[in-house]
Amino acid sequence: MSSDASPLRPPEATRSSQVQILNGRFDRLSAEETVQEVIGAVQAGERGVLSTVNVSILMMMRQNPRLQRFIDASRWTVADGQPLVWASHLRQPRLPERVAGIDLIDQLCARAAQDGIGVYFLGAESGTVHAAVAVLRSRHRGLDVRGYADGYFGPEQAEARARAVADSGAGLLFVAMGVPRQEHFIEEQWENLGARVVIGVGGSFDVIAGRRKRAPVFVQRAGLEWAYRLAQEPRRLFRRYLVTNSQFLGLISWSAIAQVALVRRVIPRP
**Which of 8-12, 178-182, 191-195, 221-225 is predicted least confidently?**
8-12
- Render pLDDT for 32-71 as a digit per residue (tens, 0 to 9): 999 999 999 999 999 999 999 999 999 999 999 999 999 9
What value does the mean pLDDT take over residues 2-6?
46
Q: How many CB atoms lie within 10 A of CB 61?
A: 22
**Distance of alpha carbon 110 from alpha carbon 148, whole angstroms:** 18
Give the mean model confidence (pLDDT) for residues 63-88.
Answer: 96
Of the chain, the percentage scoring pLDDT greater than 90 comes to: 70
Comparison of pLDDT for 166 and 90, the residue scoring more: 166
Half-sphere exposure (CA, 13 Å, Cβ side) for 150? 10
The number of beta carbons lying within 10 Å of the beta carbon of residue 113 is 19
CA pseudo-torsion sign 105, 226, 179, 24: positive
Q: Set out the domains of the chain in order of their start, with CATH numbers.
A: 11-265 (3.40.50.10700)
Q: Distances from the Cα of 248 to the Cαs of 111, 167, 195, in angstroms?
A: 35, 42, 34
Confidence of residue 14 (pLDDT cuts 50, 70, 90): very low
Q: Give CA–CA dist 53/157, Å, rounded.
A: 27
Other C-beta atoms within 10 Å of 269: how many? 4
pTM of the model: 0.87
